[in-house]
Structure formats: C-alpha cells, structure tokens
C-alpha cells in the first residue's frame, strides 16, 4: 500500500503520500496505524487459517490420519489463540475503528496518537511471543488454558504463550482507553452523543469492555505463570487450590470478550444497512442503547460456560436467566435492521451483501445461543461441536462477515481506490455458501454428542466431517479472493471519489484517501445521522429514479 | 457411511431434554421466518428502481420497539424456567439409586460398583434402575458424557461430582470424555452396557470381587492404620467414625460442616484444613499414599458406619 503515490488533483497530499519504512513504523497517524494492524492481523489470520485447514483435512478420516493427536491438539490451540486475540479482537476495533472513529466524529486523530502506536507495538510483541512458543514446540491446552492441565501437566511453552496474550492484552486496554477518551473529548462542534454514528456507539461499548475486562485476563494469565513457576497452588487441588476458580476468572474476561468480538460487527452492519437501503436507520436509540446494554449485562453471564463444571445449580440458574436477558438487545438490533429496509431504495453492492449475510448468520448464531443458555439442553450440548458451530456463526459468520463488509465499504476511503465490484459480490456469495456448509453440519454433530477437541472420532460421525471439510475449502476460496483483489486494487483499482456510496457521515466529506489531518477544516455538524432522505431527494431530482 | 440425525435416546431424562431441544428448534425456525420473510420481501420490493410506494411511513415506532423487546423477553423467561426445571431434575439424584464410583485419569475411566465389581472404560447397569455416579479425577479435569442419556458432568480433581440416570433401553452406548484432558483425550472413550436386571445380577455374580466397596474399605481401614486411632478399641483421642456420615461436624473455630464425601476425602488427604472441634491436629496426610479409588472405598466404609450408634461421649 505504501506504493500508492500517484497524485491527483483531489488528493495531492494524502496520508499515503510518504512511503519510507520509518514513516510507517514510527507513524502516529491513526490511519496508518490502522493499516499496520490490517497487515498484521492478515498475517496472524493466515497462520490460524492454515492450522484450521490442517485440522479439517485430518478430520476427513475418523482416525485422523494427517496429524498425530499431539499435533492436532497444538493446532486447535494455535488456531484459537491467534484467531481470538490476534485477529478477531483487533479486527474491527483496531483496523476499521482506528481508521474511521476520528473521521466519523470530525477529529484529526485519536486522543493519544503515540499511545495508539504503542498499542500496535505491544500487540506485535505479544504476537511474537505466541509465534515463538509455536516454533519451539507449541502448546496443547486449547485457547482456554484450563487448569490444572495448563499449570501442572502441559509443556512449559504455556508460559511463553500466556505471556504473549498478556502483553497483547495491554495493547487492547490502551486501544480501548484511547477510543473512550477520543469519543468523549474529540467530537467536532455539533456532534452531540445522539448524532454519533451507530458504529461509534458500538465501539464505545466495546472499548468499555476492553478496558474493564482485559485486566482480569491479565491477572488470570499471571496466576497461571506464577503457579507454573513457583508451584503456588492457587489452582492445584493437591495443595488445597481450586481448578474451577480458574474457569470463573477466565470466563469473567472471556465472555465479555465474546462481545468484543461481535459488537463492532453490529456497528458496521448498522452503517451498511442504512447506507445501501438509502433509509434512515430504524430505531437509532434502541440500537445505540442495546450496544451499551450488551456491554453491561455481558459482564454477568460468564457462568453459562460452567453449568456442568461443578458450579452450584443455583449459581447456574442466575447465569442462565441473565443469558436469556442478554439475548434481548441482540434481537432488538436484528429487528431494527430488518425494519430499516422497509420503504428503502435498496442496492446490493458487496458491503450490503456482507451485511445481509451478517444478519442471517448472526441470527442463527444468536438463536443457537439460546440452546446453550437453556441449562438442561446445555448438559447435552456443552463441549460438543454444537458449541463450535454456535460460536463460529457468531464470530466468523458475524464478526468476520462484518469486518469484510466494513473493509469493502471503507476500502475506497482507506486506499483511494475502488475494489472490483463483481469479484467482490462473487466472493461474498462464495463465503456465505462455504461458511454454512462448513459449520451447519456441526450443529447436528454436536447434538449427536461428538465432543470438541477430538483428534479421532467414531465412524458414524464421518459424513458430517466430510461435509464440513468440503465447506471449508469453499470458505477458503471466499477469503483468498478478497486478499488478492484488494491488494491488486490498492495499486490498479479505479480511483475512488470522496463519497462513492453517497453515504452520510463525516468520513465521506473528505477526499479519498484522506489528507494527513483528515479534514481541511474542522467540520460543523448540524444534522442527525443517516439523513438519507435529503440525499435521495437530490438524487431523484438528478436521475428521476427512486 | 451410516449415520443418524438424532442421537439414540435411552434414559428417562432424554425425552425431557429433547422436548426443550425441539421446542427451541421450532422457535428458531419461527424467528428466522419472521426475520427473513420480511427481509427478503423488502429486499425485492424496495430494490432500487422498483415502482414501490416509498411515501415516508407514519409509524409509531415505539410500539414496534416495545413489541420486539417484550415478546422475546417473555419467550426467553419461559424457556429459561422450563430448562431450569428439567436441569434441577437431572442434577438431583434420587435416594434409591445404585451407587457407582468413577475415577478419571489420563486417559481411562476406572469404575467400581457398590457391590465391589470393578470395571475399566465399561459401565454395566440394569435397565429401569436409577444409577448414581460419584466421580473424581486423579489428574486433570475430565468429563463423563453419555450422549444417549443426555447427561454430562465435569470430573474434577479434588472434588466429588455426581451424575445420575435411569436407563430405559438395553444396548451399548458411548461414554465420551468431553473436557479436553491432554494428548489422548479423543481415545478416552468408554461404553455403557445397559442390561436386563436379571442379566445384570448374573453379571454382578460372575465378575464379583468377593467383597463390596465397604468391606474393601474396612480392610484398607485396618491395613493403612486408620483403625489405630479411629478404631473402636483405640486409646488415642481421635474422632469416632460411627454415625458420622451425613451428620453435622463442629469445627475448631465455630464453623459447622456436613460430613459428606468431600469432607471425609479432605480429612484424609488434607487433614489440617478442617480440624474437628475438641481435637488436635495430629492426623498425618494420606495424600500420595492412597489412590483416589482407595479413598472412595474408605468413604464407602465410613458411610456404612453411618447407621451404627455413635459413641455417646462426644468430647
């Protein structure tokens, strides 16, 4: 991307103009940092995807012929650790959020630009630790690091891997802090809280979680290391410790983290649906506050991961009821997005296809979440492939789809170039088909009782694994296509105008790619967000079309 | 490739769990319909360039918002209550259950029936009779999962967890370890053999060990030296164990605990953690000297003493 240097009248001096290595590695420009993150998470995604591919191929045989059990266990660990902490959590916040938050609120940068760069370095340092621990032999605990397996039985690489996640976590905390302060203090004149785009509301909620939950993860990971190094006995039952305590601490972070991995996707979809249906969003306040509600209630449901862990029945009951409650704000969003389409003027560009796919896949993911929140049913489904299918519908079907939608939507702004529309649409459809074929059979498999993290399995489960692997190869093509054509388009794509989608929002009122300081002069906000009826009226005058 | 779409259903719980499962499936299909029906309809009708009427709707939007907030909430609460009720049933073993002790270790299951019969990775049970499993692990956390019975429970080192079921169909069903437990996790597979009661009795006799768990525990009690202090003729000031099980135990410091499996286990392996009121901390730990299954035999023995009259002079 650094090679984009051709000048045009519109964006003679853009943020991409300078292209020395130093100008990238020492940049404090939120837009450049976003691109640093983009390149890094694609790298980590690639490693984690290769791990997934190896697992899926191995599962083509009931006795798992491609890799040994030990290798298989290391593969799902590296897949989980990298996908969760080094792809999903930074994906929308650190890439798209970094790029567009300041522009959406009319600011020149985030509140603490140097801290922003530090976040990326911490993230990369953490990533280096994780990659190192894989190179020196890998870890086979799963991304959940359950004790006492991780503390007493697994190999010592656990410490380096945990250290990597620990360090990267501080990057997350600083990013969250930066966004919160930016959104509070850096809004342009007239940009009141209820004129904020919904993407900002969702990332504000996400940032709250990042700042409040990640320190608990840090404590938990530290406890693992301390236990391993000094044999302290926090989790070791032979020393009077309690291995289940770890699960409480881990999920106290990791359940809110699930919302870090979906709220930003919801934010993107709220932008896309309204833009491509040329309609003001239905239920702005409800969508905005449902994000906040999810962030708050999301802190109180961690025990639904532990119904059969030996947690008390009564504790389980509280966690179950709260899990049903936290589903309500998600339902509100889905209904409001659908209602937004009513009387719209809908077009189906690539970002919109991703947004519609998001609604479908997220709804299935959310509904299957109810199965797992229902205690008696969870007894059967817990720790089976049903759970795998459920959270992939949320995290891949939801978050990754949202990320792809957002990436295509803002790509003209980021790169100054248009991506090839037809290829984009094809890739979106291929991804959707491949995704469903990969993960839908796993729901059946889970109900039948196939536990997760199995290198080999009884022969009657075979057909479902074959279907899933077939789907995964289609899914792989769906992800490979954008990687190729986006990189291609960054150099050879058609030049993008400032506002290719006719979208509302301040980020579209500045050239593509934007100048270093985003705006020539600080914008003044006088309208509510998503006032598409005004834009539409203008368009009808010009073309006579609705 | 032979396959099924629904798991075999072979316990009294299975039907209750499946009813909720299918109700949720029906609900999901319904919600997908009411979301994707309109979504598809709008996407077609209001596609750009269509002739649809787009005069701005005058809707009281709050009515929609309230409707789609309240209704999902009520449905959610209904399912919560239903599933919680069934869960309570699944989690509460009936008092007349046959008892089997389970010890998980990397990567096998060791089981022992109250009658003394021992098994590895196999569990023979009679049809129509509640079976209660008391489970612990010797190393990491495992999970005893029988999909055909819709039961699953983590098996945690340092704790006793229970699981119960009443089998309803003769046959052989999988036992899976559902909690990741290390390299050979996926080979930690066992079988439940559900038999007619007559066959089960025959099985008990032919594979019998000659002593029940309680008598094995009694033998151990004398062998490892418990009887030296806790025995009837002991002169040492140690708590007597007759009538102890299931009753309250006052501790040093004023706390009162129930003498359940976990209390007895801790008293044997971590004796300093809870000192019975009026006694000194004299007991040595047996951690490392007794295996988990031996501790369970001792508990079975102490349990068998529960009905014996406790010595009146509790100091």
| CATH number of the domain that residue A527 is part of | 1.20.210.10
Residues 225-284 of B with CB under 8 A from A: 270, 273
Tokens 């609900």 — which residue?
A: B27
Torsion of CA B179, B180, B182, B185, to 10 degrees: 70
Is the C-alpha dihedral spanning A318, A320, A323, A324 positive or negative?
Answer: negative
Residues paired with A163 in a beta bridge: none
Per-chain mean pLDDT for chain B: 91
CB contact under 8 Å between A148 and B139, yes or no, is yes
Whole-number Å distance between alpha carbons of A49 and A225:
28
Interface test with A, best of B158, B172, B173, B286 (most A CBs within 10 A): B158
User: Would you say the ipTM is above 0.85?
Assistant: yes
CA angle (A325, A327, A330) in 5-degree steps:
130
CB contact under 8 Å between A346 and B27, yes or no, is no
**Paired tokens of A412:** 């003209």
What is the CATH code of the structural domain delimited by B1-37+61-210?
2.60.40.420
**Pairing verdict, β B151-155 and B122-126:** unpaired
Q: Is the Cβ of A243 closer than 8 Å to some Cβ of chain B?
A: yes
Does residue A130 lie in a domain region? Answer: yes
Q: Which among B302, B218, B292 has a CA at the least distance from the CA of B259? A: B302
Distance from CA of B179 to the nearest CA of A (A): 7
* Per-residue buried b or exposed e for B88-116, using 16+ beta carbons within 10 Å of the residue's own CB: eebbebeeebbbbbbbbbbbbbbbbbbbb
Sequence-distant (6+) residues with CB within 8 A of A394 are: A258, A261, A262, A362, A365, A366, A369
Whole-number Å distance between alpha carbons of A165 and A221:
8
**Given phi > 0 = left and psi -120 to 50 = alpha, else beta, which region is A530?**
left
Distance of CA B112 to the CA centre of its chain: 16
What is residue B310's predicted lDDT score, i.e. its pLDDT?
A: 61
Whole-number Å distance between alpha carbons of B82 and A18:
63
Distance from CA of A546 to the nearest CA of B (A): 6
CB atoms within 10 A of CB B198: 9
Does residue A448 lie in a domain region? Answer: yes
Tokens 């025995």 — which residue?
A: B231
CB contact under 8 Å between A383 and B157, yes or no, is no
Q: Is the Cβ of B23 closer than 8 Å to some Cβ of chain A?
A: no
The radius of gyration computed from the CA coordinates of chain A, to the nearest angstrom, equals: 23
Q: Which among A376, A373, A354 has a CA at the least distance from the CA of A365? A: A373
Residues paired with B105 in a beta bridge: B108
What is residue A416's predicted lDDT score, i.e. its pLDDT?
A: 95
CB contact under 8 Å between B158 and A368, yes or no, is no
What is residue B16's predicted lDDT score, i.e. its pLDDT?
A: 96
Candidate from A146, A377, A455 with C-beta closest to B83: A377
**Pairing verdict, β B108-113 and B118-120:** antiparallel
Candidate from B6, B46, B157 with C-beta closest to A148: B157
Residues 46-75 of B with CB under 8 A from A: 46-50, 52-57, 61, 64-65, 68-69, 72-73
Count CB pairs under 8 A between chains A and B. Answer: 266
- Chain A's closest residue to B44, CA to CA, is A346
Interface test with A, best of B177, B183, B188, B269 (most A CBs within 10 A): B183
Most distant pair of Cα atoms in chain B: their distance:
100
Candidate from A345, A368, A370 with C-beta closest to B48: A345
- Chain B's closest residue to A317, CA to CA, is B84
The per-residue pLDDT string of chain A (546 residues; one tens digit each, 9 = 90 and over) reads 344 444 444 446 899 998 899 999 999 999 999 999 999 999 999 999 999 999 999 999 999 999 999 999 999 999 999 999 999 999 999 999 999 999 999 999 999 999 999 999 999 999 999 999 999 999 999 999 999 999 988 888 999 999 999 999 999 999 999 999 999 999 999 999 999 999 999 999 999 999 999 999 999 999 999 999 998 889 998 888 999 999 999 999 999 999 999 999 999 999 999 999 999 999 999 999 999 999 999 999 999 999 999 999 999 999 999 999 999 999 999 999 999 999 999 999 999 999 999 999 999 999 999 999 999 999 999 999 999 999 999 999 999 999 999 999 999 999 999 999 999 999 999 999 999 999 999 999 999 999 999 999 999 999 999 999 999 999 999 999 999 999 999 999 999 999 999 999 999 999 999 999 999 889 999 888 998 877 777 666 666 554
Q: Is the Cβ of A286 closer than 8 Å to some Cβ of chain B?
A: yes
Q: How many residues does chain A have?
A: 546
Angle between helices A30-58 and A401-415 (to 10 degrees): 140
Does residue A20 lie in a domain region? Answer: no
State how far the alpha carbon of A269 is from the alpha carbons of A95, A445, B163, B294, in Å: 16, 30, 44, 59
Whole-number Å distance between alpha carbons of A166 and A214:
9
Residue B307's pLDDT band (boundaries 50, 70, 90)? Answer: confident
CB contact under 8 Å between B141 and A149, yes or no, is yes
CB contact under 8 Å between B65 and A332, yes or no, is yes
Pick the CATH number of B213-304 from 1.10.760.10, 2.40.50.100, 3.40.640.10, 3.10.20.90: 1.10.760.10
Whole-number Å distance between alpha carbons of A153 and A358:
40
Residues paired with B163 in a beta bridge: B133
Residues of chain A in contact with residue B8, where contact means CB-CB under 8 angstroms, are: none
B1-37+61-210 and B213-304: same fold? no
Tokens 């649409």 — which residue?
A: A425
Q: Which among B117, B106, B146 has a CA at the least distance from the CA of B7? A: B146
Full domain range(s) for residue A261:
27-543
**pLDDT, mean of residues B211-238:** 87
Q: How many residues does chain B have?
A: 315
What is residue A3's predicted lDDT score, i.e. its pLDDT?
A: 40
State how far the alpha carbon of A169 is from the alpha carbons of A165, A213, B60, in Å: 6, 10, 45
For A193, the 3-state DSSP assignment is: helix
**Given phi > 0 = left and psi -120 to 50 = alpha, else beta, which region is A522?**
beta
Residues 27-56 of A with CB under 8 A from B: none
Phi, psi of B242 (to 5 degrees): -70, 135
What is residue B70's predicted lDDT score, i.e. its pLDDT?
A: 94
Is the C-alpha dihedral spanning A353, A358, A364, A365 positive or negative?
Answer: positive
Q: Is the Cβ of A233 closer than 8 Å to some Cβ of chain B?
A: no
Whole-number Å distance between alpha carbons of A183 and A200:
8
Residue B107, preceding peptide bond in cis (omega within 30° of 0): yes
Please provide the DSSP assignment of chain B as one string.
Answer: ----SS----BHHHHHHHHHHHHHHHHHHHHHHHHHHHHHHHHHHTBTT-----PPP---HHHHHHHHHHHHHHHHHHHHHHHHHHHHHHHS--TT-EEEEEEEETTEEEEEETTS-EEESEEEEETTSEEEEEEEESSS-EEEEEGGGTEEEEE-BTS-EEEEEEB-S-EEEEEEE-S--STTGGG-EEEEEEE-HHHHHHHHHHT--SS-HHHHHHHHHHHTTHHHHHSTT--S-----TTTTTSEEEBTTS-EEE--HHHHHHHHHSGGGSPBTT--S-PPP-BTTB-HHHHHHHHHHHHHTTTSPPPS---
* Domain count across chain A: 1
For residue B5, pLDDT beyond 80: yes
Cβ A260 vs Cβ A210: under 8 Å: yes
Sequence-distant (6+) residues with CB within 8 A of A491 are: A3, A4, A417
**Paired tokens of B125:** 């049970």
Residues of chain A in contact with residue B292, where contact means CB-CB under 8 angstroms, are: none
- Give me the residue spans of the domains in chain B: 1-37+61-210, 213-304
pTM of the model: 0.93
Phi, psi of A37 (to 5 degrees): -65, -40
Distance from CA of B39 to the nearest CA of A (A): 6
Whole-number Å distance between alpha carbons of A450 and A444:
9
Residues of chain B in contact with residue A244, where contact means CB-CB under 8 angstroms, are: 156, 159
The 8-class DSSP code of residue A495 comes to: B
Whole-number Å distance between alpha carbons of A35 and A52:
25
State how far the alpha carbon of A129 is from the alpha carbons of A26, A86, A141, A222, in Å: 22, 12, 16, 15
Does residue A9 lie in a domain region? Answer: no
Distance from CA of B38 to the nearest CA of A (A): 7
Whole-number Å distance between alpha carbons of A247 and B119:
31
Does residue A394 lie in a domain region? Answer: yes
What is residue B313's predicted lDDT score, i.e. its pLDDT?
A: 43
What is residue B252's predicted lDDT score, i.e. its pLDDT?
A: 86
Selected residue with higher pLDDT from B233 and B131: B131
Sequence-distant (6+) residues with CB within 8 A of A230 are: none
Cβ A57 vs Cβ A472: under 8 Å: no
Does residue A11 lie in a domain region? Answer: no
Interface test with B, best of A58, A284, A286, A308 (most B CBs within 10 A): A308
Whole-number Å distance between alpha carbons of B290 and B271:
14
Q: Is the Cβ of A328 closer than 8 Å to some Cβ of chain B?
A: yes
**Paired tokens of B99:** 């008892």
């Amino acid at each position: 991307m650094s090679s984009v240097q051709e000048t045009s009248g519109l964006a003679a001096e853009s943020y991409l103009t300078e292209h020395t290595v130093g100008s990238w590695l020492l940049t404090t420009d939120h837009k450049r940092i976003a691109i640093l993150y983009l390149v890094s998470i694609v790298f980590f995604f690639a490693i984690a995807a290769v791990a997934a591919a190896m697992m899926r191929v191995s599962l083509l045989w009931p006795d798992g012929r491609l890799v040994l059990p030990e290798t298989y266990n290391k593969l799902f660990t590296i897949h989980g650790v990298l996908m969760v902490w080094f792809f999903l959590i930074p994906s929308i916040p650190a890439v798209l959020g970094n790029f567009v938050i300041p522009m959406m609120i009319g600011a020149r940068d985030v509140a603490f630009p140097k801290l922003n760069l530090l976040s990326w370095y911490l993230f990369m340092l953490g990533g280096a630790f994780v990659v190192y621990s894989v190179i020196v032999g890998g870890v086979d605990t799963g991304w959940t690091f359950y004790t006492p397996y991780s503390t007493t039985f697994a190999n010592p690489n656990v410490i380096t891997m945990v250290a990597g996640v620990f360090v990267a976590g501080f990057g997350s905390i600083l990013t969250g802090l930066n966004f919160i302060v930016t959104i509070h203090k850096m809004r342009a004149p007239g940009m009141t809280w209820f004129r904020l785009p919904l993407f900002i509301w969702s990332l504000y909620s996400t940032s709250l979680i990042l700042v409040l939950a990640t320190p608990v993860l840090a404590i938990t990971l530290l406890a693992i290391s301390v236990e391993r190094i000094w044999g302290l006995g926090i989790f070791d039952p032979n020393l009077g410790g309690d291995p289940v305590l770890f699960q409480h601490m881990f999920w106290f972070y990791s359940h809110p983290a699930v919302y870090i991995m979906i709220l930003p996707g919801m934010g993107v979809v709220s932008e896309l649906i309204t833009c491509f249906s040329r309609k003001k969003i239905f239920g702005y306040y409800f969508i905005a506050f449902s994000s906040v509600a999810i962030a708050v209630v999301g802190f109180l449901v961690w025990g639904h991961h532990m119904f059969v862990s030996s947690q008390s029945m009564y504790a389980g009951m509280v966690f179950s009821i709260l899990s049903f409650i936290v589903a309500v704000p998600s339902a509100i969003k889905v209904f409001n997005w659908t209602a937004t389409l009513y009387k719209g003027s809908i077009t189906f560009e690539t970002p919109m296809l991703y947004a519609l796919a998001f609604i479908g896949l997220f709804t299935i993911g959310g509904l299957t979440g109810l199965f797992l929140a229902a205690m008696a049913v969870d007894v059967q489904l817990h720790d089976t492939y049903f759970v795998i299918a459920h959270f992939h519908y949320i995290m891949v079907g939801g978050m990754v789809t949202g990320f792809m939608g957002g990436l295509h939507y803002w790509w003209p702004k980021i790169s100054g170039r248009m991506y090839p529309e037809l290829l984009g649409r094809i890739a979106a459809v291929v991804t959707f088909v491949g995704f469903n074929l990969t993960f839908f059979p796993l729901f059946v498999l889970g109900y039948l009782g196939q536990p997760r993290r199995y290198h080999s399995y009884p022969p009657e489960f075979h057909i479902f694994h074959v279907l899933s692997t077939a789907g995964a190869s289609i899914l792989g093509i769906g992800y490979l296509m954008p990687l190729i054509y986006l990189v291609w388009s960054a150099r050879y794509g058609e030049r993008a105008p400032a506002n290719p989608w006719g979208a509302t929002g301040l980020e579209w009122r500045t050239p593509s790619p934007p100048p270093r300081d985003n705006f020539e002069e600080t914008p003044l906000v006088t309208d509510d967000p998503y006032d598409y009826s005004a834009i539409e009226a203008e368009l009808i005058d010009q073309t006579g079309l609705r | 490739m032979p396959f099924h779409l629904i798991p075999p259903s072979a316990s009294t719980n299975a039907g209750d769990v499946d009813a909720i499962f299918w109700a949720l499936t029906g609900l999901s299909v319904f919600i997908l319909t009411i979301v994707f029906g309109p979504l598809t309809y709008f996407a077609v009708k209001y596609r750009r360039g269509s002739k649809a009427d787009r005069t701005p709707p005058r809707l009281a939007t709050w009515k929609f918002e309230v409707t789609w907030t309240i209704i999902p909430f009520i449905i959610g609460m209904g399912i919560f209550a239903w599933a919680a009720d069934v869960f309570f049933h699944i989690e509460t073993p009936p008092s007349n259950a046959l008892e089997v002790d389970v010890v998980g270790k990397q990567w096998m299951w060791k089981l022992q029936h109250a009658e003394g019969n021992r098994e590895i990775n196999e569990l023979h049970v009679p049809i129509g009779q509640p079976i209660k499993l008391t489970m612990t692990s010797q190393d990491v956390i495992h999970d005893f999962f029988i999909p055909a019975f819709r039961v699953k429970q983590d098996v945690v080192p340092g704790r006793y967890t229970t699981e119960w079921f009443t089998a309803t169909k003769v046959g052989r069903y999988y036992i899976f370890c559902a909690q990741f437990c290390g390299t050979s996790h996926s080979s930690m597979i066992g079988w439940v053999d559900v038999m007619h009661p007559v066959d089960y009795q025959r099985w008990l006799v032919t594979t019998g060990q000659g002593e029940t768990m309680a008598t094995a525990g009694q033998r151990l009690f004398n062998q490892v030296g418990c009887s030296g202090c806790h025995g009837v003729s002991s002169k040492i000031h140690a708590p007597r164990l007759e009538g102890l099980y299931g009753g309250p135990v006052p501790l040093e410091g004023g706390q009162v605990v129930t003498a359940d499996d976990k209390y007895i286990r801790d008293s044997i392996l971590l004796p300093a953690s809870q000192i019975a009121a009026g006694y000194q901390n004299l007991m040595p730990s047996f951690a490392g000297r007794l295996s988990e299954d031996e501790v369970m035999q001792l508990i079975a023995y102490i349990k068998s003493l529960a009905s014996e009259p406790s010595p009146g002079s509790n100091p």
